[in-house]
Structure 1
Amino acid sequence: MFAPPSSRRLRIFGAVTVITLIATYFHLRPQWEFEYRDYYEGVTGYFSRPVYDNTLYNQGNERLVHKQYNTSDPCARFPNTDGVLLVMKTGATEAFDRIPTQLLTTMSCLPQNFLLFSDLEQQLGPYHLYDALSEVDELDKARLSDFNLYRSQQECVVSQKSCIDASAERQNAWNLDKYKFLPMVEQTWRMRPGYDWYIFAEADTYVFWANMMYWLKKQSGLNPREKIYLGSRSFVSNRPFAHGGSGYILSRGALKHLVEKHSNLTSEYTQKGTQECCGDLLVALALDEHEGVKVRQTWPMINGEKPTTLPYGRNHWCEPILTMHHMNAEEISTVWQFEQTRKTDRILLIRDLYESLIAPKMQETREHWDNGSDDVCYINPDPAAQERADGHARDRQRKEEEMSEVEKVAWKSPQNCAKVCESEISPEDADDKEKQRDRNCFQYRWHNEVCCTSKSFKMGEPKPKPEDGSSKAKWTSGWYMKGIQDWIDAMGECTEPAWKIPEL
């Protein structure tokens, strides 16, 4: 029996289609097979994938980051965050400046495992910001002057920026902020109970989630059922607390007991807030006074610095990094991009931040720049110059009888100041790795006949040019690049991450 012509044509068309698909597959297959390290170079414009030049790629970090940045699947390397809740605090005067970048970067990969708190109930696209102060007693809000800004925000009938001058209200915002901490802790447990770990952070805090999850779930050995309070430890009047900007972590056991056993925390510590500086201190006081729980030191992994201000060197090198603070929107985006384009998925160390983001930008000197050198200072001995120097520099002065001949004249010029680091290790000891590892001078800063050096190395920030053009008033910073490289070579590779064991 013969098939009708239409049926034969259909079979022929189908066969041709199959052959074409097979040929296309074998033609494209070599382009789909690539090693991990060549991923970004191998990706082309197929299927309109968004691939861009990586703006972090620079001379000096070619082996560390990819040349191109593929944004098609930003969460491909993001860890499983089950059991962990991020609680982020902001303020109404800054929320729309800071929160969007967080939502576009790391928080875009959190499957709604976060809460946003402010001092005003707000809506940012599909995201809700809860008023942390909503449950503070109305009489306290009315009688305490620290709540003046809160009332002004509530009365604003247009955008907050139209009503509130954020720069002028900076101190008032700070005064109001301390009352948000404990109410936020209480509301978090009631809204999202049962998580293993609660990470409390500021809107300018960056969380390295891959490191964080690996540490909490595999490395730390900590049991979330126990009462645990982790952070970068600070002190006020000898009372320890976890610095809020660096971020702090509460276990399920700690949060559950604190909130469920003490129902009047907000009212109790509102009054105490009038006598204390900071809300993160109030959290520590509540945990200690009611649960006997003190902060466990987790610095430098939980850190209050950012890539440009981290003091690279001893204690800031082979340690993994979990959080950073004082990150503006551009810096958050930059570090997120760095995490996305690293050529490895191993634990990210502080050393990696330096080598990828900072080292390519380092140079011998920068004018109108402050690199933060302040460990040891040398000041013009003239009484007028001593009076002119700030108190911190005077406190860090080396005693004249302890100075070398180079140090005695370091205050005279930036060039003299630079020689302090250069002369620390004699030429005959230049190959002594132990002496290089013990180096205490890596960089300097000169300003107004004050020379200060540092036992670590960091980038710092620009300073304005002096209005009168005075050479003395100009800020000059320098780095002893050979000494830095000698120290790095002497340290060798970080064979294992130097995880911090949280201690009381």
Structure 2
Amino acid sequence: MDDEYIESPVLHDPRCAAFPDLGNVVIAVKTGATEVQRRLPIQMLTSLRCVRNVMVFSDLEEDVAGFHIHDALDMIPSSAMEGNSDFAFYLKQKELKKYGEVEAMMGGVLDPRRPEDLAAWTLDKYKQVHILEKIWDAFPERDWYMMIDADTYLSWSNLLLWLERLPDPSEKSYLGSPARWAEVAFAHGGSGILMSRATVYDFAVTHNGSAASWDKPMHEECCGDYVIGMILKERGIILKESWPTINGENPVTLPFGSTHWCEPSVTMHHVQPNHMSIIANFERSRANQTSPWTFSDFFNAVVRNNLPDELEDWDSLSTDTMEQAESYNACKQRCEQAKECFQFAFDGKRCGLGKSIHLGQRRDQKDNKKWRSGWNKSKIEQWIAKQPPCHPTFPHT
């Protein structure tokens, strides 16, 4: 596929002209058959609408909304699946594909080994090592390769501006939002894993067959992104921590404030379809399309004027300080008295104070807890007024 690419139906959108795709970047989207119908179409029409080289990988080969979905697991031999209950879900999906109801019939299936987890989530960990080899085979010798999930919003403009400033892709680079497991710092997959040409070459060519060598051992591991980090670490390729530019938060959970203000944003994770549209509309409406946008830009354009004074049945995600309180008004007073408190949440017994600004999310009454949240908008405005103009810089540049 060296001279071919998967063309988005909106690739020729004139709004993509400010950041033309030269074909030197490959985006791999990881998803699952039980969610692809809900997630992929809006992602392709918003976050990825200007991207030329996109491959979508799942645990079932199919076509969705005009896009071909590749089976990330199709190279795993039956001998590696024998005796491994993780693959029972995979084989059942293939059997049920003909009925066209995989999501309805398999979406709630639980992992027999860990009933608290979905079987689809357990199967997911086998995909990423194979995806790395497959994207190199399809698009060899590109400069940059990025793996994201189907609920990851990727800012194409900010990504390209970042790549212009990063070291030459002939150097081995591995970047992402850090997660840690068993003393290994690895790039969290849902937030996005960015790798240079030299890194993917090392994995897929120099050490060809790395993915197959993990088909059986992966059964005992937690997750595929951890295994990638472990493999690269063993080869001397250490994660360049790139948080919060590569980020696992979304518009309702982002902690706007000292850690998320003048930094440019490249990814957000767990982004719902309606929020994908909101971010895309914000990007399109920017007057200056040639400079990176920051968390403060997004806050001022989307969040600032939509913050309420208070909301019933709402959790503002205020957890920096948690203490007992007699009432909502008592909780509100504590926030007013605390120097760094921007917002608060009361669940009927406990008062949470927040040093950053979150939109938060609906929380229905449960276990005798009834949520009510408030925002101290005067303190928020005072803090914003004190902030100097942003001069955004990308990590590792």
Task: Describe how 1:46-445 pairs up with structure 2 within 5 A.
Answer: 73-111=14-52, 113-156=53-96, 157-161=98-102, 164-169=105-110, 171-217=118-164, 219-220=165-166, 222-289=167-234, 291-345=235-289, 346-379=291-324, 411-425=325-339, 440-445=340-345
Report the TM-score when normalising by structure 2: 0.91
1:258-313 CA-to-partner distances (Å, cap 9, x unmatched) read: 11122332232222312211111011112122x21121100000000112211001
Where 2:119 maps in the other structure, the secondary structure is helix
8 Å Cα contact 1:307/1:353 also seen in 2:
no
> 2:102 & 2:19 partners in 1: Cα distance?
35
Letter in 2 for 1:319: E
8 Å Cα contact 2:93/2:102 also seen in 1:
no
Cα pair distance change 1:453/1:163, threshold 3 Å: closer
8 Å Cα contact 2:50/2:156 also seen in 1:
no
8 Å Cα contact 1:232/1:246 also seen in 2:
yes
Cα pair distance change 1:203/1:490, threshold 3 Å: same
Q: Where does residue 492 of structure 1 map in the other structure?
A: 388
Letter in 2 for 1:271: K
Structure 2: tracts of 5 or more residues without a match: 1-11, 111-116
> 1:310 & 1:149 partners in 2: Cα distance?
34
Where 2:255 maps in the other structure, the secondary structure is coil
Query: Which protein shows a greater Rg?
Result: 1
8 Å Cα contact 1:92/1:160 also seen in 2:
no
Cα pair distance change 1:83/1:445, threshold 3 Å: same
8 Å Cα contact 2:57/2:71 also seen in 1:
yes
TM-superposed CA distance for 1:464, in Å, is 1.5
TM-superposed CA distance for 1:340, in Å, is 1.1
8 Å Cα contact 2:246/2:265 also seen in 1:
yes
Where 1:82 maps in the other structure, the secondary structure is coil
Letter in 1 for 2:305: P
TM-superposed CA distance for 1:163, in Å, is 5.9
Cα pair distance change 1:151/1:203, threshold 3 Å: same
Match of 2:359 among 448, 456, 459: 459
8 Å Cα contact 2:73/2:130 also seen in 1:
yes
TM-superposed CA distance for 1:125, in Å, is 4.2
Cα pair distance change 1:413/1:163, threshold 3 Å: closer
Q: Where does residue 475 of structure 1 map in the other structure?
A: 371
TM-superposed CA distance for 1:100, in Å, is 0.9
Where 1:108 maps in the other structure, the secondary structure is coil
Where 1:308 maps in the other structure, the secondary structure is coil
TM-superposed CA distance for 1:328, in Å, is 1.6
1:310-354 CA-to-partner distances (Å, cap 9, x unmatched) read: 100112000010111101211112211111122222321100111
> 1:198 & 1:95 partners in 2: Cα distance?
21
Q: How many corresponding residue pairs? A: 378
Letter in 2 for 1:492: P
Cα pair distance change 1:199/1:81, threshold 3 Å: farther
Cα pair distance change 1:163/1:415, threshold 3 Å: closer
User: Which contiguous aligned blocks of 4+ residues in structure 1 show a shift greater than 4 angstroms?
Assistant: none
> 2:191 & 2:321 partners in 1: Cα distance?
26
8 Å Cα contact 2:149/2:192 also seen in 1:
yes
> 2:347 & 2:78 partners in 1: Cα distance?
51
8 Å Cα contact 1:319/1:500 also seen in 2:
no
> 2:91 & 2:82 partners in 1: Cα distance?
8
8 Å Cα contact 2:252/2:359 also seen in 1:
yes
Structure 1: tracts of 5 or more residues without a match: 1-70, 380-410, 426-439
1:471-492 CA-to-partner distances (Å, cap 9, x unmatched) read: xx21011111111111111113
Where 1:106 maps in the other structure, the secondary structure is coil
Report the TM-score when normalising by structure 1: 0.72
Identify the structure with the greater helix proportion: 1
Letter in 1 for 2:79: L
> 1:162 & 1:105 partners in 2: Cα distance?
23
TM-superposed CA distance for 1:72, in Å, is 7.2
TM-superposed CA distance for 1:83, in Å, is 1.0
Q: Where does residue 501 of structure 1 map in the other structure?
A: 396
Where 1:85 maps in the other structure, the secondary structure is strand
Percent identity over the alignment? Answer: 34
Where 1:135 maps in the other structure, the secondary structure is coil
1:119-151 CA-to-partner distances (Å, cap 9, x unmatched) read: 111112442111110111211223211111101
Where 2:48 maps in the other structure, the secondary structure is helix
Cα pair distance change 1:227/1:455, threshold 3 Å: same
1:387-441 CA-to-partner distances (Å, cap 9, x unmatched) read: xxxxxxxxxxxxxxxxxxxxxxxx111111112221124xxxxxxxxxxxxxx32
> 1:476 & 1:106 partners in 2: Cα distance?
33
TM-superposed CA distance for 1:455, in Å, is 1.5
Letter in 1 for 2:26: L
> 1:149 & 1:446 partners in 2: Cα distance?
42
Where 1:109 maps in the other structure, the secondary structure is coil
Letter in 1 for 2:88: N
Letter in 2 for 1:214: L
Letter in 1 for 2:15: P
